Structure 1
Amino acid sequence: MYKLNNRVRDYAWGSKTLIADYLGRRPSGAPEAEMWMGAHPGAPSVALLNRGHARLDELIDADPEGLLGPDSRAAFGNALPFLMKVLAAESPLSLQVHPTREQAATGFAAEEALRVPKDAPTRNYKDPNHKPEMILALTDFEALCGFRSATEAKEIVDTLVTFFQETGADVPRLLPHLSSTLARPDEPTAIQQAFAGLIRGGDEVSGTVSAVALMLASSIPEGPHAAAMKTALMLNEAYPGDPGVLISLLLNRVSLRPGEAVYLPAGNIHAYLHGLGIEVMASSDNVLRGGLTTKHIDVDELLRTVVFTPLPVPRLATTSPAKGHLIWQPPFDEFQLQRIELEPGTRHPELPAGVPVIVLVASGSGVVEARRQTLELGKGDTAFLGAKENPVTLRAGAKEPLVAFVATIGIHEPVPH
């Protein structure tokens, strides 16, 4: 087992304080968006050795059986199948969707055959893997997630039309057209056509976004759709004139309290808006963007990837096998997340055995104990536990409670949600 140093990604939407405060260290002064814990080649963790250090992905390459174990290797091959992050959104992320495994494999092979550089701004597929994920809120956390019903989306658009009419302003032509599109009888087709019209809309969409934002800046109509309109106004402040501002009206608005989680399967279009969370995902960096961005949008590939069927928000329930022990198991085999809380001086009898594990200490301090090795971990420290370290226990320090998050591979049946 190894203590880890992890890279913090300085994306512009990140918070300058949330990650540093949560991990108990001094802020860098730059935006800190994500701390990656894992072996993804884009930003692999670095393991601290008795002498020197080494990249975690290189250690796994050298000993996949010992570090991953037979179960993980049989299911996922010779790479760590999950990636764990601490994510801090100060401003909204882009609307995005992740492909299925089959789409990723096909798209990656096609771009490799065309010799598209992996760092090219037009590249869609960085690897051949899918990227299902989950996010657990550590603070109040705001997001957009999947499509609301076409009926509800039409009600929001109609409310905007009425608002323009009541104020005596000219109604942008796009809004009645969008309303009629959403009224079509086949719901997924109606949503797909509304979405495609907005993402392809060009100057007319940009002008409508600006007109809507100008109206909402003066007053938000009261009623059940006020939150959706406030969100659209906020998004326009971050991305003026972007089609994603109107696309947000088609999407579920999700508010998570600390300890609540959602999971995001392939095809679910989503955007994190604000907050701090623990994110776990399959180890991939495949993202297709769908608005709220200045980056490349491959509209045709996006439309092939998004699932346009409206569904309930995919909230993720917990199981609790023991006091102070919570497990979030999404319907994906690559990962699960656990939270372990221990009173001072007490011990968690056994961490997941025979599989790869990453531990993050969120508060307090403790010791990870194996047969031939111990690791002392304080607030903000992380460790990788190889499959060959079996059994492994976690013990809290004597003076204060310990809270740790544990990521490992998943089980083969989903927790009800």
Structure 2
Amino acid sequence: MLIFIENTPRTYAWGSVDALPEMLGTAATGEPQAELWLGAHPGHPASVAKATKQPRTLIDLIESDPERWGVDGKDLPFLMKVLAIGAPLSLQVHPNAAQAAAGFAAEEERGIPRDAAERNYGDPHHKPELLVALGEMTALSGFRPLADARRDLRMLAAAVPTGPSREALHTAADLLTGEDPAAARQRFIEWALSGDDAAAAGVQGISVIVRASQAADLELDPLRVAVLSNLVAAHPGDAGILVSVALHALRLQPGEAIFLGAGQLHAYLSGIGVEVMASSDNVLRAGLTVKHVDVDEVCRIVDTAELDEPKFRAERCRPGLVAWRPEVPDFQLMRVRLHGAEEEAFDAVGSAEQIDLSAPHPLVLIATAGRVVIERPAAEFAEVAVVKRGQSLYVSAGEPIQIRGHGEAFIATVGESFAPRADTPVCR
């Protein structure tokens, strides 16, 4: 079955006022609209559009007949979102499966309410996630080489007048030194997040330079300067400003992606993109937020290894179809681009007139440009759905689908290792 789904965007302070309304074709409300959730996560499940007089969520649909609507008789293991970022999100990490299960069980045993501000684990699941840019995006993601971070910290220190701030930035650079890079980063993170007066002085020093526009006179990468300026304006005095110097600063162009594995320190800073993740809401914040920061737990969970390549490359399957397939069972994300006979939203190079996909597991689709037509000609009763930009569709497991039209759509489903089958969508 092809079922339209919809949801109300979540209004967080970091959201964009106009990006999601523009994509969805709805009126802006004046509030920052941050996230559109398209899945069956209990925190904010999507609704079945115009199904009955009584509202019905995707959870209700799956529970009514798990074998028909779910994934092998169970809930969806993934959640798709559209993120519209008007201000930096918190600096954060996500636990692996074992850490999430243990952390959740410990907090349950201690009787911490699941909605308590100090709660770290809202569920017992891991939360790997993948973000693909729809427009230009900026982000912090993973640790960069020690030498690069040291160089920038010493340049920043040289621009600060003699005093505690200069000394603190030199201390930060010294901490990022040693024969064991992971251990050096661990020391640096623990110190930067400790609340120590010296670490606070380092943050203050960076803030003074940025506000005085002195960073533009340094040999810092322009993107690094822009990131520091953004963070100082959004979160003055926050330790995450200092930590950010040790991380990769990225500018993603449309179609570029990052994958966040367990323990990878990251923060999304600006732009709009499609995100898919394991169906979990476990977030351990490390800074750039007014919310709860459990420094000890962050320092225990964080992966301090260097991230060699922060961008995650797509696999080009065939004309018009690419896929991002990290080595997790929970999800993969595909993008189709189509050029129809009547109107061309994309050049013929890199797009196709029709894409055929098998669907042994449910698919969640959102059109991000133009109009796409989804057909299931081999179904008992032939099905067809016309999905316009901003509309979303839930495709139950079953016969293959054909996708035509003119435009672009993103499709989330389970990963190849979830339950390998001969008809699982693959790049071949």
TM-score by length of 1: 0.91
Amino acid paired to 2:375: E
Distance 1:35 1:203 in 2: 40
Is the 8 Å Cα contact of residues 336 and 355 (structure 2) preserved in structure 1? no
Sort the Cα spacing of 1:366 and 1:216 in 2 relative to 1 into closer, same or farther, 3 A: closer
Q: Deviation of residue 361 (structure 1)?
A: 1.3
Equivalenced residues, count: 402
- Alignment correspondent of 1:393: 402
- Alignment correspondent of 1:355: 361
Consecutive unaligned residues of structure 2, counting only runs of 5 or more, are 342-351, 421-425
Distance 2:239 2:93 in 1: 16
Q: Deviation of residue 349 (structure 1)?
A: 4.8
State, as a whole percentage, how many aligned pairs show the same letter: 38
Sort the Cα spacing of 1:293 and 1:349 in 2 relative to 1 into closer, same or farther, 3 A: closer
Is the 8 Å Cα contact of residues 8 and 34 (structure 1) preserved in structure 2? yes
Sort the Cα spacing of 1:352 and 1:27 in 2 relative to 1 into closer, same or farther, 3 A: farther
- Alignment correspondent of 2:15: 14
Is the 8 Å Cα contact of residues 156 and 225 (structure 1) preserved in structure 2? no
Asked if 1:213 corresponds to 2:186, the answer is no
Sort the Cα spacing of 1:382 and 1:230 in 2 relative to 1 into closer, same or farther, 3 A: closer
Q: Deviation of residue 170 (structure 1)?
A: 6.3
Q: Which moved more, 1:234-243 or 1:374-383?
A: 374-383
Distance 1:127 1:170 in 2: 42
Is the 8 Å Cα contact of residues 365 and 394 (structure 2) preserved in structure 1? yes
Sort the Cα spacing of 1:253 and 1:287 in 2 relative to 1 into closer, same or farther, 3 A: same
* SS of equivalent to 1:31: coil
* SS of equivalent to 1:123: coil
* SS of equivalent to 2:267: strand
Is the 8 Å Cα contact of residues 284 and 294 (structure 2) preserved in structure 1? yes
Asked if 1:237 corresponds to 2:230, the answer is no
- Alignment correspondent of 1:67: 69
Amino acid paired to 1:128: P
Consecutive unaligned residues of structure 1, counting only runs of 5 or more, are none
- Alignment correspondent of 2:411: 406
Distance 2:95 2:241 in 1: 23
Q: Deviation of residue 285 (structure 1)?
A: 0.3
Which of the residues 270, 276, 285 maps onto 2:281? 285
Q: Deviation of residue 88 (structure 1)?
A: 0.9
* SS of equivalent to 1:276: strand
* Partner deviation per Cα, 1:169-198 (whole Å, 9 max, x = no partner): 665432222222112322111111011101
Asked if 1:201 corresponds to 2:203, the answer is no
- Alignment correspondent of 2:176: 182
Q: Which moved more, 1:268-277 or 1:60-69?
A: 60-69
- Alignment correspondent of 2:423: none
* SS of equivalent to 1:65: helix
Which of the residues 242, 257, 273 maps onto 1:246? 242
- Alignment correspondent of 1:162: 158
Is the 8 Å Cα contact of residues 368 and 392 (structure 1) preserved in structure 2? yes
Amino acid paired to 1:258: P
Q: Which moved more, 1:404-413 or 1:323-332?
A: 404-413
* SS of equivalent to 2:135: coil
Asked if 1:337 corresponds to 2:326, the answer is no
- Alignment correspondent of 1:374: 384
Q: What is the root-mean-square deviation in Å for CA atoms of aligned residues?
A: 2.1
Distance 2:195 2:169 in 1: 12
Is the 8 Å Cα contact of residues 84 and 280 (structure 1) preserved in structure 2? yes
Q: Deviation of residue 203 (structure 1)?
A: 4.0
TM-score by length of 2: 0.89
Amino acid paired to 1:362: T
- Alignment correspondent of 2:31: 30
Distance 1:144 1:242 in 2: 15
Is the 8 Å Cα contact of residues 248 and 310 (structure 2) preserved in structure 1? no
Is the 8 Å Cα contact of residues 372 and 409 (structure 2) preserved in structure 1? no
Q: Deviation of residue 328 (structure 1)?
A: 1.5
Sort the Cα spacing of 1:318 and 1:264 in 2 relative to 1 into closer, same or farther, 3 A: same
Q: Deviation of residue 231 (structure 1)?
A: 2.0
Distance 2:312 2:287 in 1: 26
